[in-house]
Structure 1
Amino acid sequence: MHILYNKYLLISLKDFVMFSNDLCIAGRSFKSRLMLGTGKYKSLKDAKESIYLSSTSIVTVAVRRAQKTKLLGSSNLVDGLDWKRLWLLPNTAGCQTAAEAIRVAVLGREMAKKLGQENNNFVKLEVIPDSKYLFPDPLGTLKAAEYLIKKNFDVLPYINADPLLAKQLEDLGCSTIMPLASPIGSGQGLQNLFNLKIIIRNSKIPVIIDAGIATPSDASKVMELGAEAVLVNTAVAQAGSSAQMAIAMKLAIKAGRLAYLADRILAKNTAQASSTNYGIL
């Protein structure tokens, strides 16, 4: 796998760096616009290799799962990662109410401190009472976000692709908006593209597309539209080769970002020749 990684390094990333800029969230800069989750991997080795090969800067960890693993004394991915290189994004997965999410967010901040990230106030806010489709609760999310912001958290809320809710959370003081492309883990891809376009266009804070991304082309597409980043878990963790998919996602996001900055041509209803009639014999 390292041979494969070195082969991809032959693609010059200097061109990308020259025209791009860092992802900025709550005043902190990150080199990578790919965020990775830590659940559903086939093994700890798979997870660690994929995270390394993805060159991600931000890794999200379900606080409740990490706490349970600690209690059971099981092998823990959190303990095996380099937290001097990676930034922890604790998430409140598994919380059904605003009150639960607030409690778990506090635990997440303590986890970050124990990993040496004393100034890490990030929390990926998830309030999900729906066990079948895992759609987030908009009212619970608003309530928890308002409280956590007052407690100096940098809140990254996971929401449905709802432009009005996105703007309300932005006005509250959230650090990003994280709308779903389709339900968590569904692999359905970009089912809410129209609403995602509106959210991206209206937002003055970073929009990070989260949930439902299935392929690198999905990730590239939303980056081309102006999303600031993409969070992926299942598409990498459950791929036949998690490591290769992590590399593919990394490259797709770089390509999508560069395409967005390049400013694509306008679509036309008629054909237009690549060369003019001028000079034809």
Structure 2
Amino acid sequence: MTDTWQAYGETLTSRLLLGTALYPNPNAMQESIKASESEIITVSLRRQSPEDGGGESMWQFIRDLNKKLLPNTAGCHNAKEAINLAKMSREIFNTHWIKLEVIGDDYNLQPDPFELVEAAKILTDDGFAVFPYCTDDLVLCQKLLDVGCEVLMPWGAPIGTGRGIMNPYSLETLRQRLPNVPLIIDAGLGKPSHACQALEMGCSAVLLNTAVAKAHDPVLMATGFKQAVEAGRASFLAGAMPERQSASPSTPVLGTPFWHQS
């Protein structure tokens, strides 16, 4: 039986979402996404600008991939700006899905929780399927669910840092307290092992861009992340052994003869 998950009524098999920015060239972007076997890719209206031909070449490469598009509101700093960009993206990319980013701090690119919740409510009421990029704060995540979000995208670490999951306790708490909500770890993952850890914790999926796009070999790195996500999910389903404070022999000693020399 195929292991699937759901996001706004869409049944998905891949638990790896990939971005389309920062690659050395369009061919590298296209081949990396193919290698990842991702079903969802993120696109930025501000980067692609297909409506005025500014990114027509890149936009053609994206269209050729035939993937589910998740436009984002990257670069927005308040609810009004994010809402306007989301509405433009809906018209241009022909999708009601939106990755909602409202940045509150330019140093660590941390989301503004107040503007994020406000924008999420307005967009949800307007028919959008909102994927909010948020911190791993439980109360914030509950507020986003209260205004209509069905998926959460908490960060692992600040965008582009590659530091991996900096606060496992908070993410484990989210998973335990919100067991039926799809959690997509977004931002800060730098190595396949980071993605594996997220899936081992029971998270639904991971979204990344820089770790693949800036690798020396983006296609090989995309393959590595695909395999890591599969390994992490298998570990979660199988039930990883609990950690112990003391050693425990893997070979049973009960009934084993011991020989003593006098």
Task: State TM-score, norm by structure 1.
Answer: 0.86
Q: Distance in 1 between matches of 2:238 and 2:192?
A: 19
Pair 1:97 & 2:64 matched: no
Which residues of structure 2 form unaligned runs of 5+?
Answer: 258-262
Distance 1:76 1:201, change over 3 A: farther
Shift of 1:160: 1.4
Shift of 1:169: 0.8
Q: Is the 8 A contact 2:192 2:224 kept in 1?
A: yes
Bigger Cα displacement from structure 2, 197-206 vs 94-103:
197-206
For residue 180 of structure 1, the aligned residue among 129, 133, 155 is 155
What are the residue-to-residue correspondences of 1:1-281 with 2, within 5 Å? Answer: 18=1, 21-67=3-49, 70-71=51-52, 73-82=54-63, 85-113=66-94, 120-203=95-178, 204-281=180-257
Q: Distance in 2 between matches of 1:252 and 1:196?
A: 19
Q: Is the 8 A contact 1:50 1:242 kept in 2?
A: yes
Q: Distance in 2 between matches of 1:163 and 1:63?
A: 30
CA deviation vs aligned residue, 1:3-38 (integer Å, no higher than 9, x gap): xxxxxxxxxxxxxxx4x5212101111121000011
- Structure 2 letter corresponding to 1:30: L
Q: Is the 8 A contact 1:185 1:212 kept in 2?
A: yes
Q: Distance in 2 between matches of 1:24 and 1:83?
A: 24
- Structure 1 letter corresponding to 2:62: L
The percent identity for this pair of structures is: 38
SS of the counterpart of 1:198? Answer: helix
Shift of 1:122: 0.8
Shift of 1:63: 1.6
Aligned to 1:7: none
Shift of 1:80: 1.4
Bigger Cα displacement from structure 2, 130-139 vs 74-83:
74-83
- Structure 1 letter corresponding to 2:92: M
CA deviation vs aligned residue, 1:226-257 (integer Å, no higher than 9, x gap): 10000010000001110000000000001001
* Superposition RMSD in Å: 1.6
Question: How many residue pairs were aligned?
Answer: 256
Shift of 1:74: 4.3
Q: Is the 8 A contact 2:48 2:54 kept in 1?
A: no
SS of the counterpart of 1:53? Answer: helix
After the TM superposition, list the runs of 4 or more consecutive aligned residues in structure 1 that deviate by more than 4 angstroms: none
Q: Distance in 1 between matches of 2:111 and 2:25?
A: 28
CA deviation vs aligned residue, 1:134-167 (integer Å, no higher than 9, x gap): 1110000000000011111111000112111011
Aligned to 1:3: none
SS of the counterpart of 2:29? Answer: helix
Shift of 1:276: 2.1
Bigger Cα displacement from structure 2, 125-134 vs 149-158:
125-134
SS of the counterpart of 1:42? Answer: coil
Task: State TM-score, norm by structure 2.
Answer: 0.92
- Structure 2 letter corresponding to 1:164: V
Distance 1:235 1:269, change over 3 A: same
- Structure 1 letter corresponding to 2:28: D
CA deviation vs aligned residue, 1:63-97 (integer Å, no higher than 9, x gap): 22222x65363453222134674100010001111
Q: Is the 8 A contact 2:48 2:56 kept in 1?
A: no
- Structure 1 letter corresponding to 2:183: V
SS of the counterpart of 2:110? Answer: coil
SS of the counterpart of 1:128? Answer: coil
